[in-house]
Amino acid sequence: MSSSKGNSINISDELQKWVFRMLEMGFDCFSEGDYQPFIFLVNDDGEKDRIDVVDANGNIDSSLIETAREIVAKSCPFASIYIIVSAGYLHGDGTKYDAVVAEAGEKGEKDGFVFAQRYLENSEPESFEKIGRPAIVNIVANLLNYDG
């Protein structure tokens, strides 16, 4: 893959593997009606952790994404990979699409990436259909860059 500026985007096979798994997990959760964002971490020793991000009243809103980002940036120096999974939207071709969104980064890399998998809700309750393949939709600061 390359960006519009011609710079190469380098994503390790390990990060890509976990992002695709977490997009799938998010899709499964959302299709079952659970829209709670979560953080997935692969630690330096290979251990894996999942952290559900909730507020005291059980509300789900965009502020939870910022909370998740703060948790990773300030409290996860042991992580080698982070992925924050949430429900979101993508706009394309004049249409607004529901999407599973995953912000991901790997220790030692400058950039983090935002991936998205679009989906449609079918007429049957809680029946979802993926549209296309996951795509990188943004490049962000890697939250695991503790050294600045």
Residue 57: which H helix or E strand, with range? none
State the DSSP code for 59: -
- Assigned domain for 137 exists: yes
- Assigned domain for 147 exists: no
Residues 45-65 pLDDT 10s: 999 999 999 887 877 778 899
- Assigned domain for 2 exists: no
Residues 103-119 pLDDT 10s: 999 999 999 999 999 98
Percent of the chain with pLDDT over 90: 58
What's the confidence (pLDDT) of residue 7? Answer: 60
Query: 110's torsion region: left (phi>0), alpha (psi -120 to 50) or beta?
Result: alpha
Q: What is each CA distance from 123 to 63, 93, 120, 127, 129, in whole angstroms?
A: 30, 22, 10, 7, 11
- Assigned domain for 136 exists: yes
**Which range has the top average pLDDT, 16-20, 51-55, 129-133?**
16-20
Question: Which of 82, 56, 81, 54 lies closest to 67, judged by CA?
Answer: 54
- Assigned domain for 34 exists: yes
Domain count, the chain: 1
**Which range has the top average pLDDT, 46-60, 64-78, 117-131?**
64-78
- Assigned domain for 8 exists: no
Please give the residue range of the domain that contains residue 48.
13-141
- Assigned domain for 6 exists: no
- Assigned domain for 75 exists: yes
